[in-house]
């Protein structure tokens, strides 16, 4: 589901990718519509770097993203399976196995917006 990022989304995106200069995807020329795909696809060097970036988030920030994933507002469909697994592992470790499983189900049901 395409959405416009709100202030909280932008703050979290900036925490995950401090090198971010603008909210425009260089490949498509369109504004980013989610938090995790730009970090994974444009800023993280690899899965280990993605994990380190996600570990920067507080439990509250991860719960916020998890809730967006569950309601379909945050798209995971554009994440490579390996990157999605990194996200699920961070959720499992910092939130709960149940939160990770709900995100996994959303990932498996969703597509790339």
List per-residue pLDDT tens for the chain, 113 residues long. Answer: 467 889 999 899 999 999 876 665 555 545 668 899 989 988 999 999 999 999 999 999 999 999 999 988 898 888 899 999 999 999 999 999 999 999 999 998 875 55
Strand partners, 24: 31
Longest dimension (CA), the chain: 37
Write down the pLDDT at residue 3.
78
Write down the pLDDT at residue 85.
97
Write down the pLDDT at residue 59.
97
pTM: 0.88
Radius of gyration in angstroms for the set of CA atoms belonging to the chain, rounded to a whole number: 13
């Amino acid at each position: 589901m395409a959405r416009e990022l709100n202030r909280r989304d932008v703050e979290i995106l900036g925490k995950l990718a401090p090198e971010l200069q603008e909210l425009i995807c260089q490949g498509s020329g369109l504004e980013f519509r989610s938090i995790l795909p730009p970090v994974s696809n444009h800023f993280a060097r690899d899965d280990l770097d993605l994990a380190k970036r996600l570990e920067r988030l507080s439990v509250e920030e991860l719960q916020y993203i998890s809730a967006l994933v569950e309601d379909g507002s945050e798209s995971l469909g554009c994440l490579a399976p390996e990157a999605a697994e990194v996200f699920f592992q961070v959720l499992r470790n910092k939130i709960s196995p149940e939160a990770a499983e709900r995100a996994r189900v959303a990932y498996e049901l969703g597509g790339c917006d």
